[in-house]
Structure 1
Amino acid sequence: DDLIKISGPLAFEKADRDAKPIESTANIHYRTEYNRIANQVRKDIPDLAPEYLDVEVYLRAISKGEIKDGDRILSQSDHARTLKDPDQVQQYIEQVKAKVPGYRQYKQDIATAKAQNTKDRKAYEGLAQSVRTEMGDLKPGPLDVEICIRLTLDNPNLEGILAQSDWVKSRPTSEDKTIYIQSIQNAASQVIQTREAIQAQQAQDRSDYETLAKRVRNTPVQLSTELVDAQIHWIADHEGKPGDGDRFLSQSDRVRTLKDPEQVAAYIEHIKTQAPQYQQQRIDAAKAQAQAQEQAIAQAAEGAQRDGDQVMYQNFATKVKKK
């Protein structure tokens, strides 16, 4: 009334149009409740998709009060307050309610994914520790390759476990992660093929070693283990290809008890130094065999001579008796 008296009806109408309505005490209460619940949701579920924020707020509101409280709190949400038409506000509230079944499935999927993620992380850490115990500290790439090999390439959860690698997590995009995991799988496949080829060659070398060992031990001279290996090395290098001696010795009984590659290399080098002694043993064995043969021949000749003399004596004796 004072405004009309002072400024006139037109000024009053303009002021009335521009004036902001005073919020009711109830709206302030529900707005405060919405902010409180929304902030708690953001804290509890930091990775919640934005379209589900008001759905979670609504579910929490009705879990502690009446369904109407949920509607009233939603009417004071950030989005609802941008709507001027009450019908639009009510339509938005109904849209939020319609999302509840899908949101519950979404939460179930998230919980399942988190549980699987925890399981995968535990599996990855266990495999990583096993690799480090067996092979020492490895760089991230080789470590993941060994883990991939232990998982086997047909493991249905291979990618999920490899995704727990710190190296994978450091990749900026999902595409980078996929490319890295694929490269690890390819590298693991190549390593498996290489190791299978090595194992096949080692099996053949072991068979060749055992064959030569039987041949070497078939001698009148008793050879020590080292001299047996020395002879095998010499035969392999002289009757086979260069390098066969080292490969065959790498599968010897003695070497197979050694775990340190440096010890294996040292033993093979040591065996090579036994060659002169081995050669002397071969010479001694050949001499002993030749002497044995000569002695057998001499004994046979002496026996024949003795038998011949006996026959001649008996012939002469017969003649004497006749005379």
Structure 2
Amino acid sequence: MATALHNAVIRDHSCVSLANYFRKLLLTLDWKTIFDHLIESISSGAIDNEAFGVWVFVCQNADAIVAAMAQNVSATGRRNAIKQFGRQLRTEAGFPAVRDAIGGVEGTLALMSQMSVNEVDALCRTMRRSSTARAAVKLRQEYMSELYHALRGAPGAPRNPDTRPLGDSYKKITPACNAEIALRGVDFLHCIPGGLRYQAHAAAYEAHALAAMFPTEGEEQPVSAFAHLMERSGSFNMLVLQRVLRDRIMLTREEGESVIRMAALLLGRASRKNAKDDMTEQAMRLVVDCIRKHPVLAGLHRKYREEQPGLFCHRDLGERSTA
């Protein structure tokens, strides 16, 4: 180790050079050897703790990241390790690796109980940001949901050893949990949940809206009640129009206005240069069929074409709808 790890080199290198130095070391030395040397050297004052922070960014090993989060010598190293932990949460291979390295939910609880309040908050925020990652979604949501229940002391969940009142920080995890937790308390009729929350659970949110508009029993919500979703989701517009076409409902004029706006938005998205031809054709056919089925839409369609010619600008749309 003495021939490979030189504190004089570590002290004199810039961050970029130091990162390259650590990368070369990791080709011949295991992470634990480097980790132990850096911790010992920082403790003795031989090197600055910033060097450890650089090493944390370079080393991608899950066990090393967790060890860096748990050590009590370098605050910079802990901060950087939390960021690295968050990056690993977002990848297919990284998530199970760091989950196992930290010891699952119980290990996460134990580590968080040893962190400062600011570090707990930083960890919760980095977990929150993982909510929109496309990799390991089901596994990550299961882990986050179980962790959140444990942090809040839910019955049957692992015990949280931390008695500090950190509920505001814990809440930041919720977008990364399952839809039941993430969308709890959301006012579906009047708002779209915050950016990350909606991005992570758009399908569940839109399914709730559809169920409210087209219930199997009970009073239905008007289509216009969910106008706030139209701007956000072309897939939602498509689903609503499919139900308007399929279900036995009578649209009011107000609902017709909402449906026509929805159709216009859908056609607008379908006409973009990067839209697939089959999507354009499918959207146009769906809009035409809805206009043919519902008289109120036919009247509104003609009105909108006269008042705003660019609103329904697809070629042959007018001819198709009156054919």
TM range (shorter): under 0.3
TM-score, with structure 2 as normaliser: 0.24
State the structure with more CA Rg: 1
Q: TM-score, normalised by structure 1?
A: 0.24
